[in-house]
Amino acid sequence: MSRIVHLGPGAFFKAHLAAYTQEAGGWEITGLALRSPKARDEFQGTYTLLERSEAGTERREIDVLREVIHVPSAPAAAMAALTDRETKVVSLTVTEKAYAPGAMTHLLWEALAARRDAAVPPFTCLSCDNLPSNGRVLRQLLIDEAGEAGDWVAKAVSFPSTMVDRITPSRTEATVAEGGPNAEECEAFRQWVIEDDFPDGRPDWPAQFVTDVTPYEEMKIRMLNGAHSMLAYAGQVAGLETVRDVMNDEALASRVAVHMGAAVATLDPLPGTDFNAYARDLLARFRNPHLAHQTAQIAMDGSQKMPQRIFAPAVTALERGQDLAPFAYATAAWITYLQRTPEVADPRAAELRPATLEHILDLPDLLPSVLQSSASWRAAVTRELEQF
| Sites of contact with ligand CS2 (CB under 6 A) | 130, 165-167, 225, 228, 297-298, 305
Strand 87-92: give its sheet, edge to edge: 65-70, 27-33, 2-7, 87-92, 124-127
- Residue with Cβ nearer ligand CS2 (40 or 305): 305
User: What is the 3 state secondary structure string of 84-99?
Assistant: CCCEEEEEECCCHHHC
**How many Cβ atoms from other residues are within 10 Å of residue 377's Cβ?**
24
- Residue with Cβ nearer ligand CS2 (131 or 146): 131
* Nearest distance, CB of residue 175 and ligand CS2, angstroms: 16
**How many Cβ atoms from other residues are within 10 Å of residue 61's Cβ?**
10
- Residue with Cβ nearer ligand CS2 (165 or 384): 165
Q: How far is CA 14 from the centre of its chain?
A: 14
Check if the beta carbon of residue 333 is closer than 8 Å to that of residue 230: yes
Check if the beta carbon of residue 55 is closer than 8 Å to that of residue 48: no
Where would I find the H helices in 70-128?
75-83, 103-117
- Residue with Cβ nearer ligand CS2 (280 or 320): 280
* Nearest distance, CB of residue 356 and ligand CS2, angstroms: 24
- Residue with Cβ nearer ligand CS2 (123 or 327): 327
- Residue with Cβ nearer ligand CS2 (145 or 217): 217
* Nearest distance, CB of residue 109 and ligand CS2, angstroms: 27
The one-letter amino acid at 317:
A
- Residue with Cβ nearer ligand CS2 (93 or 339): 93
- Strand partners of residue 165: 191
* Nearest distance, CB of residue 228 and ligand CS2, angstroms: 4
- Helix, coil or strand: residue 57: strand
- Strand segments, DSSP code E, in 117-260 are 124-127, 162-165, 184-187, 191-195, 208-210
* Nearest distance, CB of residue 243 and ligand CS2, angstroms: 9
Give the orientation angle of helix 375-385 with respect to helix 325-340, to 10 degrees. 60
* Nearest distance, CB of residue 48 and ligand CS2, angstroms: 20
**Contact partners, residue 122, CB within 8 Å, separation at least 6:** 112, 115, 116, 156, 157, 200
* Nearest distance, CB of residue 127 and ligand CS2, angstroms: 13
- Residue with Cβ nearer ligand CS2 (13 or 123): 13
Residues for the chain: how many in total? 388
d(CA 107, CA 176): 33
> Looking at beta carbons, which residue is closest to ligand CS2?
228
d(CA 105, CA 102): 6
- Residue with Cβ nearer ligand CS2 (95 or 105): 95
* Nearest distance, CB of residue 232 and ligand CS2, angstroms: 7
Instruction: Supply angle C-alpha 264, 208, 305, rounded to 5.
Output: 45
* Nearest distance, CB of residue 281 and ligand CS2, angstroms: 13
Q: Which of 140, 89, 148, 88 is nearest to 113 (CA)?
A: 148
- Residue with Cβ nearer ligand CS2 (111 or 128): 128
* Nearest distance, CB of residue 188 and ligand CS2, angstroms: 13
